[in-house]
Structure 1
């Protein structure tokens, strides 16, 4: 996969997608797989903003039963099953537990009924899945069993525990990229670091954009029969450029922040734990409330979230401050006193945008938007050739993409081609019986690579892992590990540049490999990666140093 600006300039596409987060990536694959010509652009890297903010969980929607939102729960079950099937190397079952308490909605009997209802409503959750991807039935456990599994939590009032199974991604970044690689193989033309700076428009029709290649500063036109706004937190900005007269209400933004802890608090099991918080109202009168914090094991780390706050600034000014991290950390420490969590344990943080419907004036809590929206601007504003999508959840991106492309076919006047993305493996997903596949690869011990390296390659590249090994035939030295890593080899850096459109050091560190996903990978690692990329891309010494400084800055909090 290579940046092909010339094709973007020369072709007229059926569909131009602006925004390459998980919704844009899934829609590009959906449309290309159904025979449409597709262009996908983003002013940053693929998945570089909100889609990078994740607890790595694929939710089956059990929490929606609290409000009896069965439709949303069923949608989540279907999409979790689809991701387990089409990306078996990247998505796997995850055991979850929530302590029960004596009071009504969180009591053990009530949650036991909820688990039973969840099992009944998701009876098809394992259809078509390999045995090692099956989602188990829920159950309740005793207080003693719960506290034994959640060593260190605040046990006051705990009466037992509710256990169920959801799913987790080994890498949300690689999953998103695999959708784009699949789209490219089906004929789509993706390009990162290309910004839509102006829309090509008559009074009643949009037929593309004026784009700017941010790597060369060159401006050019991209022509398309349909243009799709999937820019997430930048939705309002794009609408002002495209359809300033729109009747669509601007979205209100909130931020969602998760912490990465460099310690394994809950090996093998995620937990939703009750937290108590105090909100100081504008009247200065305190409000005492409760919410659930989610602790998810991930590699040697623990992910904790989510801290939601309303956001009123411009989206490009999004920052993570030391104050907000410390405030959230204090709440985490109270919930998990036995974890001995210190400031030094916070190795990284994720923050992104979610649409909200407002703020609870009593508690200060954000009312998150519950349902995605697909806008047809011919219907809404009388402007043909333009649509917008607002997503709310990583898990359901594929399903929303299917509905969006259904509407695109209708707008183009084409006979709709049925979607098969719910059962078609994405790039790297051509695997049956994943655990057997992984064991066979490790047993072969190719190129004298360690079992840990081979396991990493299988998890991150799936059935396409031989692509990485092919580099070792050309240069055996590329089998060496990056400084400070026990998993990532030099060949992956070369592959990321040559075949995965990595053009900045942060692309490789954060989104093509897992080198920096859990925290700063170390100066030696940054220098080694930058040197390899410099050789591939012809960077000057000044450019290399600039890339190192910019990437290191991502691990520094704003004061």
Structure 2
């Protein structure tokens, strides 16, 4: 195997892969794909005691798993479809995520708005919310006191307009308010789950592309190190392809023989400035399209779209038509149209849709396990909220099928999560403890709370870096006075997080660090000043020369400019001309 890959692998001290008789690295289970599905499957296989290796062609969580509305939800919309089992499972998993990661999963109220022209009507919406809450009975059991959900209630028109100042008044009836959960930092939560797998002995490799299956009678894959170009063969008793939209690509020419075909649906969000609402808002536009307007970290997310797409998911981009659809939907229920200056950036993800005539449909009815040639399985479907249940069921079913796997141990539904801030009675108590840690460092309360929420108990490792090198406590994006009428705040990330991203979290590129280890890139539209600050640290930690720094920085900046240009085009005509 590439020595560079092994050097940067996420693994606990002493963990590693075995060696086959032929000299190839060998594992019990090899998981393809570092999104939430692959990470949860790897976690459950490792927790059962199987030698597990996860490989991801780009970076952990770099695909669909990062392009979310940042909600952990029970699937209220499934009630309209009559799919009660889906809702029950989602509600159970929502609670388990809240127990496992209280620093990253917190309550979020959502308002289901009703107009006199919209459907379903307000009484039907209320009945749906009532059933939803009844199915979630016991959701607060074991949850920290200040993170418990409130009862749903009806919000009258005038009160609603004070809470959501941008809503169109004409025809507005009111809204039903209910509590779901906010996925505060999906990238960090995914890394915490992955680190949990590593704690149990798994090894995880990013920037490691599977280029094909090994020829029979071998079981395994060929992997190419995307940063060095080196390749290696890895043997595995079982291969689980959880690459999502890239599932067919991961199997290459074997995809058709294994019965794997994937249709793709693109989901686009607009990220805007703070629009004034502190609760999430579900609304159906006059065009019949549903959107969620969800406040997050001084920003708002508006979306998603759901449009079919062809070609490689690597090429997924927000297009003018996507932006126009979101504008048309939002503007039809807004008092004033959305303006270009309101929009910070776009966010794009690709959902995999199953196209298979022969599959094993699991009891959750949200994902499929498709058996291919001996020892090879493809898993399609699943979502953030139910990823744990999917990982548990996939690992159990495949273990039951594969006699060649060693005996495994049983695991609990309440697996401990790496560095989770448990053991407190309230989240406020946990954050207060974080603020009191290492008081001599001089970091402000807001920055300390930010680090505790991002890293859980591991925030002390960031503080340790600052203690050794005080200059690493400097913010990457210095706070600036807010202009009159402006809202939100700047980014609270510091230079120590960049060092930690490389040394402890497998980050290899500028995008790995900015977009998936820090909060900086998740807030989009990263300033030149902040990019320069990150690059200065990376030059030292990774030993990059001037050429490598310029290439990485220009590639990041070019991608930002491209998204901005599409936004400009998407706002080129007035919203009145879109309908």
Q: Is this contact kept in 2: 1:182–1:426, CA < 8 A?
A: yes
TM-score (norm 1): 0.89
Q: Is this contact kept in 2: 1:97–1:270, CA < 8 A?
A: yes
Distance 2:320 2:126 in 1: 40
Give the match for residue 361 of structure 2: none
Q: Alpha-carbon deviation of 1:140?
A: 1.5
Distance 1:170 1:2 in 2: 31
The change in CA–CA distance for 1:85 and 1:523 in structure 2 (over 3 A counts) is same
Q: Is this contact kept in 1: 2:212–2:251, CA < 8 A?
A: no
TM-score (norm 2): 0.86
Structure 1, residues 68-102: CA drift from partner, whole Å, max 9, x if none? 21100001101101110111111100011112234
| Match status 1:260 vs 2:271 | yes
The change in CA–CA distance for 1:430 and 1:3 in structure 2 (over 3 A counts) is farther
Give the match for residue 193 of structure 2: 179
Give the match for residue 294 of structure 2: 296
Give the match for residue 485 of structure 2: none
The change in CA–CA distance for 1:206 and 1:335 in structure 2 (over 3 A counts) is farther
| Match status 1:465 vs 2:459 | yes
| Match status 1:436 vs 2:401 | no
Q: Is this contact kept in 2: 1:12–1:224, CA < 8 A?
A: yes
Structure-to-structure mapping, 1:61-210, within 5 angstroms: 61-102=75-116, 105-202=119-216, 207-210=219-222
Give the match for residue 530 of structure 2: 525
Q: Alpha-carbon deviation of 1:424?
A: 2.0
Q: Is this contact kept in 2: 1:497–1:536, CA < 8 A?
A: yes
Q: Is this contact kept in 2: 1:520–1:552, CA < 8 A?
A: no
Distance 1:7 1:443 in 2: 37
Q: Is this contact kept in 1: 2:103–2:452, CA < 8 A?
A: yes
Structure-to-structure mapping, 1:268-283, within 5 angstroms: 269-277=279-287
Match of 2:26 among 12, 19, 41: 12
Structure-to-structure mapping, 1:407-418, within 5 angstroms: 407-413=397-403, 414-415=406-407, 417-418=409-410
Q: Per the alignment, in what secondary structure is the counterpart of residue 151 of structure 2?
A: coil
Match of 1:406 among 396, 402, 413: 396
The change in CA–CA distance for 1:130 and 1:246 in structure 2 (over 3 A counts) is same
The change in CA–CA distance for 1:261 and 1:466 in structure 2 (over 3 A counts) is same
Q: Per the alignment, in what secondary structure is the counterpart of residue 521 of structure 2?
A: coil
| Match status 1:420 vs 2:412 | yes
Distance 2:475 2:411 in 1: 41
Consecutive unaligned residues in structure 1, runs of 5 or more: 278-289, 359-369
Q: Is this contact kept in 2: 1:16–1:224, CA < 8 A?
A: yes
Distance 2:325 2:290 in 1: 16
Q: Is this contact kept in 2: 1:371–1:392, CA < 8 A?
A: no
Give the match for residue 453 of structure 1: 447
Give the match for residue 534 of structure 1: 539
Give the match for residue 499 of structure 1: 504
The change in CA–CA distance for 1:385 and 1:315 in structure 2 (over 3 A counts) is same
Q: Alpha-carbon deviation of 1:527?
A: 1.3
Structure 1, residues 504-559: CA drift from partner, whole Å, max 9, x if none? 01111110001121122211211111121111111110000111011112322265
Q: Is this contact kept in 1: 2:103–2:421, CA < 8 A?
A: yes
The change in CA–CA distance for 1:103 and 1:418 in structure 2 (over 3 A counts) is farther
Give the match for residue 343 of structure 2: 346
Distance 2:477 2:332 in 1: 36
Structure 1, residues 318-338: CA drift from partner, whole Å, max 9, x if none? 222345324423432333234
Distance 1:105 1:324 in 2: 23
Aligned residues: 527
| Match status 1:393 vs 2:378 | no
Q: Is this contact kept in 1: 2:78–2:86, CA < 8 A?
A: yes
Q: Alpha-carbon deviation of 1:214?
A: 0.9
Q: Alpha-carbon deviation of 1:478?
A: 1.0
Q: Per the alignment, in what secondary structure is the counterpart of residue 155 of structure 1?
A: coil
Q: Per the alignment, in what secondary structure is the counterpart of residue 542 of structure 1?
A: helix
Distance 2:283 2:343 in 1: 19
The change in CA–CA distance for 1:442 and 1:429 in structure 2 (over 3 A counts) is closer
Give the match for residue 214 of structure 1: 226
Q: Which moved more, 1:24-33 or 1:95-104?
A: 95-104
Structure 1, residues 159-212: CA drift from partner, whole Å, max 9, x if none? 22111000001111101111111111211110100001121131xx66110111
Distance 1:123 1:482 in 2: 44
Q: Per the alignment, in what secondary structure is the counterpart of residue 450 of structure 2?
A: helix
Which consecutive aligned stretches of 4+ in structure 1 deviate over 6 angstroms post-superposition?
A: none
The change in CA–CA distance for 1:349 and 1:508 in structure 2 (over 3 A counts) is same
Give the match for residue 229 of structure 1: 241
Structure 1, residues 452-505: CA drift from partner, whole Å, max 9, x if none? 110100110111110101112221111111134551111111111111111101
Distance 1:353 1:294 in 2: 18
Distance 1:131 1:2 in 2: 43
| Match status 1:26 vs 2:18 | no
Q: Is this contact kept in 2: 1:21–1:48, CA < 8 A?
A: yes
Q: Is this contact kept in 2: 1:2–1:500, CA < 8 A?
A: no
Q: Which moved more, 1:136-145 or 1:415-424?
A: 415-424
Distance 1:483 1:42 in 2: 30
